[in-house]
Amino acid sequence: MLANTKDTGDVKEKDDVHKAPPDIKTLVGEKPDLDPANYTMSDSQYSYERTIPDANLPTEFVQGVLDIANEGSGLLRPTYAQSNNDIYISSSQIRRFNLRVGDLIGGQARQPKENERYWGLLKVEKVNGIAVDELNDRPDFDSMTAIYPDKRINLTTGAEPLTTRVIDLVSPIGFGQRGLIVSPPKAGKTWLLKDMIAGIGKNYPEKVLTEAEISKANKKEFDKKDDPNGSNDTLEERGVHLMGVLIGERPEEVTDIKRVMNEITGGLGEVAASNFDESPEAQTRVGELALDRARRLVEIGANVVILLDSITRMARAYNLALPTSGRTLSGGFDPVALFPAKKFFGAARKIEKGGSLTIIGTCLVDTGSRMDDLIYEEFKGTGNMELHLDRKLADRRVFPAINVTRSGTRQEELLYGKETLQKIYTLRRMLEMVSEDERTETLLERLKKSESNEDFLKNLTTG
């Protein structure tokens, strides 16, 4: 639809556009139309709307995630990454509707004219799925109050797979969790991520927010329901928006994750991906835009889960993309590159009387690289949940290769009821009585004999 594009018209390129392809700052500049007959005053903020010249041109409905330049104009990215399918949006429309980076914008657009490169958005019709005339004032993500996760995400979908059942027992995930999956190479982290997608997608299928729910979210009038079992009717009714953010991945794995995501979520889930053969600037920009998209959804009360693969590759990309600070840590890592990666990971939070942003990121260890070990050491204290995969278990073909002793969640008492929590403590004590090499295998063997975690815990002390 949008593949045939031409060179600059309404969009003015700078000389260094090809040096940093994903950076919108080098791509967009608004070319003014000096004919006053083509514009009318649209609101009290002195923004202008084009009305006459394109009125009779054929249009098509398009949508994309908004990326704004310093000049004020922007591009809608249909696939998060820069492409020929991007749609130009003027600064006047951005100001008029108070649009933010990461908003999903939909509207009518026209094809490029002669000497133009991008399609042009003529009219904004929807913002994050909401009609523009229904938009209310949105809170700012950074001003919202963060609290400990207190509602558990149930990953278990039945007797199988055992992966999600083990996670629910030894390292529970709550809405708003900031979790690390610490994995050596070839330990099964990709399979683990796919099982998590399946568990979340089936138990919390996403539902489109109504106008009333959006208004309620903006006014911060959500009712907080205390449930000792860790469930929440409001969360379950609204569902979860699933996002996969893949940085520096192999193309075949990107395809695999996209297909799983589409199958489980019915096309409602999103995957923002950048392959390992793309520039560091492209990789970091995809991650930033995906995070902004998630933040915009949380601002309107949604519950978003981001599965990030991987934090290590994201930090490596920032190490190459950012200007050097003149300081170098172990493995040739610049400490400045840690801050944007930590900003991404630190965005995870449960909002008081609102939505939540859950980020589960993988972190690579035992790769033989000092840089990777440094990145893990810097991030291991920032999360409130860790799931450790064990290479020795994977070599013995014990899957899921989860080290049940090292895995755990901070403040897990907020995610379990009192009775369940005591049974979890009993399970931990029993596993301590087994040799370290056999703990995971012992747990898996016992889980196979039960249909659910509830049955397993109920019969924990009986044969």
Establish whether 326 is an annotated binding residue.
no
B/e letters for 26-57, b = 16+ CB within 10 Å, e = fewer, are bbbbbeeeeeeeebeebeeeebbebeeebeee
Residue 191, annotated as binding a ligand: yes
CA pair distance 393, 400, nearest whole angstrom:
8
Rounded Cα distance, 61 and 58, in Å: 11
The CA–CA distances, whole Å, from 190 to 136, 173, 185 equal 40, 18, 10
What b/e readout covers 244-268, taking b as 16+ CB neighbours within 10 angstroms? bbbbbbeeebbeebbebbeebbeeb
Structure tokens at 43: 């609101």
Is 119 annotated for ligand binding? Answer: no
**Which has the closest alpha carbon to 335: 348, 322, 354?**
322
Angle at 287 between CA 112 and CA 105, to 5 degrees: 40
How far is the C-alpha of 309 from the C-alpha of 196, rounded, in Å? 13
Q: Distance (Å, rounded) from C-alpha 306 to C-alpha 316? A: 19
CA distance 401 to 437: 11
Using a CB cutoff of 8 Å and minimum separation of 24, what contacts does 262-270 make?
A: 264/197, 264/198, 264/201, 264/202, 265/201, 265/205, 265/206, 266/205, 268/206, 268/241, 268/242, 269/197, 269/201, 269/206, 269/241, 269/242, 269/243, 269/244, 270/241, 270/242, 270/243, 270/244
For residue 332, say whether it is annotated as part of any ligand binding site.
no
User: 147: which 2 tokens?
Assistant: 């609290």
Those residues whose C-beta lies under 8 Å from the C-beta of residue 458, and which sit 6 or more positions away, are none
172 with 265: CB under 8 angstroms? Answer: no
Is 187 labelled a binding residue?
yes
Answer yes or no: is 178 a known binding residue: yes
- Find out whether 219 is annotated in a ligand binding site: no
Q: Tokens in use for 405?
A: 């002793």
Residue 186 assigned to a binding site? yes
190 annotated among ligand-binding-site residues: yes
61 is in an annotated binding site: no
Look up residue 9 and give its two tokens: 């018209």
Residue ranges for the binding site for ATP? 174-179, 186-191
Residue ranges for the binding site? 174-179, 186-191
